[in-house]
Every structure is written in C-alpha cells, then in structure tokens.
Amino acid sequence: QKTLPATVLTIFGATGDLSLTHLLPTLIHMEEHNLLPTTFKLVCVGRRDLTTKSFFEFFTEKTTTKFSPQVIKKFANRVTYFQANLDDHQSFAGLAQVLADKQITKQKHECYNRLYYFATAPSYFASIAKILKTQGLLIGCTDHERTIRILVEKPFGNNLASAKELNKELLKFFNEKQIYRIDHYLGKETVQNLLVMRFANDLFEPIWNSKYIDHIEISVLESLGVGNRINFYNQTGALKDSMQNHVLQMLALIAMEEPKDLSPESIRNQKLKVLSSLVPFTSKTISGNVVRGQYIEYKKEAGQVTNTETYVALKTEIKTPRWKGVPIYLRSGKRLGKKVTEISVHFKKQCELFGSERKNNVLTFRIQPDESVQLQINNKIPGFGIDLHSGTLDFGYKTAFLTEIPSAYERLFLDFIQGDQRLFIRSDEIEASWKFIDSIVNNWNKKNAPLQKYVSGSTGPKLSEKLVSKNNHLWWTK
Ligand code: BG6
C-alpha cells in the first residue's frame, strides 16, 4: 500500500446523522484495516456542548456498528472535538489552535494536508468556506505550502441557480482541483465496475446504441422510510435527494462515450455530455412522463400533511446520436417492497427464427445488494422438441471475489486523502443535472402536480406502471 500523506481531517457537522452513521464508522473501519495515514488526526466540529470524551460517548451510544475496544481506543487517540456554532463565526476562533500541526502531532514539523469535510446542512457550505478563510485555516506556515481540499456533501444546491451560486462562492476560496463534490454512489464497487464492464469487454461497445438497445431502466428502490431525517427530507424529496445525483450519475456512466483515458477530466467530460443531452421537460411533456408519489404513512411520520414526494419515476431520452429514440426509465423511492438498486439494459430482438414470443436479452447490473452482473438469455429446454427457456448467466461478486467489498465512503475517503477526483463530481456536471431536475420542479410547481399515494411495502404508485406499459414495457426490477 502507498504511503498516505500526513493528514488532518476536519468534519463540520460531526454530531449529525451522516457523520454518526457513515463517516465515523467508516473511518474506524479504516483504522481497523490500517487504511488511514500513519499521521492522521480527526477534528470533529459540532454545535453540541461536548468534550472529546463525551463526544465519543455520544457517538458510541448512537452508533449501531460494533468495533473492538482496542480499535476504538486507537482511533479515539486521533480525535479532538471542537464545539462551535456555524451561525456564530466568532465561535471558531480557537480552531486554528486545534489544527496547528505541532500541537497535534508533536512530530517533526511539516505542513500536513488539511482536509475539510462539509457534512452540514447545505445552507452552511458557503459560510464554512468563509470561516476557513477568515480563521486563517487555508494557509501553510512561512516555510511550507499546504495542500487544502474540501469535500462537500450532497445535495449541492437546491436548484440550478443555488448550485451556480454555491459554485461561485466556493470558487472564491478554492480552485476546482480542491473541491470534492461527493456522490457516494460513485464510490460503490459495482458503480465503478460500469466503466470496466463497458470498456474492458469488447462485445458490448458495437451493440451499445439505439440500433440494438430497446430501453434502459435504472431503479433505486429502498425499503426504509425517511426516519429521523424528516426536516431535511421535507426540503428535498426523492427527486433532489436521489434522482438529481445517484440516479443521473449512474445514467451518465451507463450512457457515456468512451473516455480517451482514465483521467478524472476525461471521464467527467464524457459524463457531462450525457447530462447536458437530457431533454428538459416542458409543461406538455411532463404529463404522463413523470410520476410523483408519497407513501401513505409519511403524513404520520412528518406529523403533518406535506407536499414532499418520497417516490419519483420518469421516462426521458438522451439526445445524442447513440441514444436517439431509446426510452430511459428512471425511478427512485422509499418504503417500497425491498431495497435494491439495479440498472437493466434491454436489447431489441434482431432474429426472427424463434418468433416474437421469445424473451429479449437483458443485461442487469445489480448495484446492491447481492452485487452481480446478469445476462438474461434463451436456451433450449432439453428434450425432443425445440422449446425455449429464458435463464440467467450470473456473475456474482460473492462467489467470484472472496474479499470484502470496500464500502463507498471508505473508497472516497482514500481518494480524498490521496487527491484523486475521478469519483467526484465537477461543477459543470452538477449544473447540467440541476438544469434537467429544475425542468421537472418548475413544471410540478406550475401544475400543482398531485402526489400519488402508495402503500408501504408495495411497488409504488399504480400510475408508475402506466408510465412504462404505454410503451409495452414493464419495470424490470421487482
Ligand atoms: C443518500 C440519501 O444519499 O442515499 C438517502 O440521502 C438514501 O435518502 C441513501 O437513503 C441511499 O444510499 P444507499 O447507499 O443506502 O443506497
């Protein structure tokens, strides 16, 4: 393993849900597997009045992940809690002291990389950047330059205008190479595999187009509800929480042209072309092509009637020569029958010999759980006639690879520490995604788009079946 640079990581929003359920457990897991830099300090910034010790107790109480006491002890030695309130910039006055390298490491002085993780509500992102600047936290000492990077959680903005504004604000303090806009789906092994599957297997490229592909479906289905994130979710909804980022990023990877190399810029250039080629909805095209839903129990969970969608399904098209006329179905929702994320590529029938009744070939990328790639094929049923059977060629990760699959956040933390932006999103990609999403929100607002109710544990609103069936399709992911 490469030597990782000496790093001081500061998490803003350290007592929040994301930090407690994902970030801290991931860092401890990395500790357990010796994946952290030898010199690594973590500064946890939160509003709660806690000491480093009581912060750790608070975390241990909240987390469901189990670690050995030895690992926790080793990790705890790296952590300092810093209490401050983002609405009161003065409360950050002591942070520079805490981050000062000598004090933190007591080792030979060099300017350690300073990494800042913005894990707060998005409305604070621009403030944090200002605080870092005014508190002198972006500079090295008089002898050394310092590497500074920031990692910004999603949602990045709330629409195109606010995303542009946020980009503008952040670019006042950092350059694009320092900004890591996260979408944890890009860190998932199976999502990274999309690039490899497509461009390391020569049989796919010649048939990866409208001549051979009938339609594509991406489904991100969840069985859990919103839980204790109701306030956040009420301002976001399924469209902005999942479609704008996770779903569109996977679409970009499945639909993009071959990048000229594996550099972050080449890959992001190609993703951008897909995102910019999505056809925005108009007041005419939105009818019948977008379904918004809410599970019945949401009202009780939210404590009031709200207009937040917990489900969204849509049919769109990518206006590029490769994809002209190919329906793209995208779907994401909460409290559905099960948790599963899949991308399925449905091929057209080309041969007529066995009639139209035989099944289409379908290539399915099972992103999670039970990670796999499956190809639906037709075979002859053994016997004296010629009867067809539709079965699956199944490449399952669990049987093919005996090692543990690294978690998305683990991979992304390592990339952040090492300065690799390949799995992070560039400003123009974010803006192109918002442009598409805005076209939906604006038309929903204009039309007072109704919410289709659905029962928890079901497959979602009835109307979403119609969305696909009018083209004689069915949702593939069940
Ligand atoms: C997050 C969303 O980005 O992704 C959550 O904010 C959602 O609402 C989660 O539950 C799903 O992630 P995963 O990795 O569990 O599929």
Q: Tens of pLDDT along 133-180?
A: 999 888 776 667 778 999 999 989 999 999 999 999 999 999 999 999
Q: Report the candidate in 180, 130, 171, 122 with the shortest Cα–Cα distance to residue 417.
A: 180
- Residue 117 clears pLDDT 50, i.e. is over it: yes
* Cα radius of gyration (the chain): 24
Cα 220 to ligand 1 centre (Å): 9
Is the minimum distance from the CB of 214 to ligand 1 under 6 angstroms?
no
Q: What does each C-alpha distance from 384 to 97, 116, 310, 356, 439 come to in angstroms?
A: 82, 68, 51, 22, 57
Which atom of ligand 1 approaches the CA of 220 most closely? 16
> In whole angstroms, what separates CA 368 from the centre of its chain?
13
Which atom of ligand 1 approaches the CA of 233 most closely? 8
- Residue 434 clears pLDDT 50, i.e. is over it: yes
Share of the chain above pLDDT 70, in %: 97
Cα 16 to ligand 1 centre (Å): 15
Is the minimum distance from the CB of 183 to ligand 1 under 6 angstroms?
no
In the sheet with 452-454, reading across from the earlier edge strand, the strands are 388-396, 372-380, 362-368, 340-347, 213-221, 328-333, 311-316, 290-295, 452-454
- The 10s digit of each residue's pLDDT in 462-474 is 999 999 999 999 9
Is the minimum distance from the CB of 222 to ligand 1 under 6 angstroms?
yes
Q: Which of 158, 242, 370 to mutate to test the pocket of ligand 1 (most atoms within 8 A of CB)?
A: 242
Cα 185 to ligand 1 centre (Å): 9
Q: What does each C-alpha distance from 242 to 236, 290, 300, 332 come to in angstroms?
A: 9, 15, 22, 7
280: CB partners within 8 A, 6+ apart: 435, 436, 438, 439
Q: Looking at the whole model, is its pTM more than 0.85?
A: yes
215 is catalytic: no
Burial of 348 (0-12, 13-18, 19+ CB in 10 A): middle
The active-site residue out of 29, 184, 215, 246 is: 246
Q: Report the candidate in 198, 425, 440, 212 with the shortest Cα–Cα distance to residue 332.
A: 440
Q: What does each C-alpha distance from 9 to 107, 117, 178 come to in angstroms?
A: 17, 7, 14
Identify the residue whose C-alpha is closest to ligand 1 atom 8. Answer: 241
Is the minimum distance from the CB of 241 to ligand 1 under 6 angstroms?
yes
Dig out the tokens for 125 from the structure.
């992102």
